[in-house]
Amino acid sequence: MKHRLRPALSGLLLALAVFAAHAADPKPAPRETLLLRPERVWTGDDDASLTGWAVLVRDGAIVAVGPADTIEAPADARRIDLPGATLTPGLIDLHSHLFLHPYNEAPWNDQVLKEAEAYRTLLAARHARDTLRAGFTSLRDLGTEGAGYADLSLKRAIDEGLIPGPRLFVATLAIVATASYGPGPRGFRPDLELPGGAQEVSGVDETVRAVREQAGHGADWIKVYADYRIGADGSAQPTFSAAELRALVETAHLSGRTVAAHAATDAGMRMAIEAGVDSIEHGYGGSAATFRLMREKNVAYLPTLTAVESTEQYYNGYVPGQSPPTPKLREAEQAFRTALAQKTTIGCGSDVGVFRHGDNYREPAWMVRLGMSPAQALRACTSVAARILRQSERIGRIAPGLRADLAAFAGDPSQRIDALRQPLLVLKDGVVYRSPEEPQAPGQDGPEPAAATAQPVR
């Protein structure tokens, strides 16, 4: 299969990624017993943060949380004081692409067609580091976009402590209908055999086989493109039949895996929802009735607002704070407000990779701009996101027994969401990956490059 990495190449990529990560960052300290004393703690359960609380961490887990004078820390505990800061659960982004970088640096076609998988894997390792240091301790990565199963090696390297990065929940190749996804075939010579950005299938049998192949390789989630720009006029239209979608979802669910559906149109969303998918990505054309159906069927919504803002900046002259919203921005904003009014479950999913890794905070900032309270947006990036991942018993809140995935920010993001721009401390599994001596957020040390040619939101 053309998307698979050869074993020798896979080993080389892993070795290079490890070398690159260690060249940039010292090896993190081993797990310690830590007493964290911020000014405030926001646990993920309530709206308000709690002043004067502390958190005790041992063996990678949270063992106590509460008023500081009630927590007994052992004599050998390392004390970390965080004056003026708020400690939160580690943040979660449910729609990311570590193997992409912003389209104003290189168009999507160029990344898939011209950048070697070794180079893309090295970049992905750097992106993972930048994301973790920004306070995002878990990511759902929804497709390598032509880099095969390299996300599985990246996840393994992170899990084994070879490179720094967030907890990864990966979708590997993603599944698309034949000839519906790039690169091409429209716009290229018909005699060219192009590498694909995802795994192409036609019919129930091929769809089931693709799910089983990806599951067998180790995919945590299955991603399907329920619609795409296949219309004669370039418009987005459903790409799979109802039978194909039902077979895909049934096969994934039988294996214990959940399904994320790219769907930008109301028709594509409804077909995916009725087939039983677990999340809808983008949903820009969703109607009130469709978002209400999502609530009734417990289907989560990942709005990817920042991706739209970014592509409109790159290609359509949008200038935040100066230009009026473009038609695409207005559509995305209306969809989000509609989902919020219908009480649809909304998680934080930004489509980072379209924009710079480490700038994931822009998505909850958009959510607040469009009507969520800061505390609601924080929950979308913590406890709600963990529930969508089926990981509520491990991550997403500050509570005894959960893993010590934690982040501290200057100020109080439960009151002012922009505080997420300033991470001071980041722990994953009780290991410190960012300390208060490093206030500069990754990804904030330079302007983004100028615009490139138009490319799609993934």
Q: Cα separations (Å) of 230 from 182, 184, 187, 381, 398?
A: 11, 11, 13, 33, 45
The whole-model pTM stands at: 0.92
Q: Which residues partner with 281 through β-bridges?
A: 262, 302
* Model pLDDT, residue 442: 47
Query: Is the bond preceding residue 183 a cis peptide, omega within 30 degrees?
Result: yes
Q: What letters, b where the CB count within 10 A reaches 16 and e where it falls short, cover 170-197?
A: bbbbbbbbeebbbbbbeeeeeeeebebb
Q: Cα separations (Å) of 56 from 72, 170, 291, 352, 401?
A: 9, 31, 41, 32, 11
Above 70 in pLDDT, residue 289?
Answer: yes
Above 70 in pLDDT, residue 332?
Answer: yes
Above 90 in pLDDT, residue 444?
Answer: no
Chain-wide mean pLDDT for the chain? 92
* Model pLDDT, residue 31: 76
d(CA 177, CA 198): 9
* Model pLDDT, residue 149: 98
**Checking phi first, is residue 234 left (phi over 0); if not, alpha (psi -120 to 50) or beta?**
left
Above 60 in pLDDT, residue 441?
Answer: no
Show the DSSP H helices in 348-456 as ranges.
Answer: 362-369, 374-380, 383-388
- For the packed helices 117-133 and 150-159, what is the interaxial angle rounded to 10 degrees? 40
Q: What letters, b where the CB count within 10 A reaches 16 and e where it falls short, cover 70-97?
A: ebebeeebeebebeebbbbbbbbbbbbb
239-248 mean pLDDT: 98
Six token digits for residue 294 = 């999502």
Q: Cα separations (Å) of 409 from 31, 42, 258, 385?
A: 21, 11, 32, 19
Nearest to 50 by CA among 64, 39, 34, 59: 39
Q: CA 201, 207, 210, 211: dihedral to nearest 10 degrees?
A: 150
339-350 mean pLDDT: 98
Above 80 in pLDDT, residue 457?
Answer: no
d(CA 198, CA 45): 38
Above 80 in pLDDT, residue 296?
Answer: yes
51-78 mean pLDDT: 97
* Model pLDDT, residue 7: 43
Above 60 in pLDDT, residue 143?
Answer: yes
d(CA 56, CA 400): 9
Q: Are 307 and 457 in contact (CB under 8 A)?
A: yes
The residue that leads in pLDDT, 458 or 369, is 369
Q: What is the pLDDT of residues 105-136, one digit of tens each?
A: 999 999 999 999 999 999 999 999 999 999 99
Above 60 in pLDDT, residue 91?
Answer: yes
Q: Are 139 and 169 in contact (CB under 8 A)?
A: yes
Q: CA 374, 375, 380, 386: dihedral to nearest 10 degrees?
A: 150
307-317 mean pLDDT: 96
Percent of the chain whose predicted confidence (pLDDT) is above 70 = 89
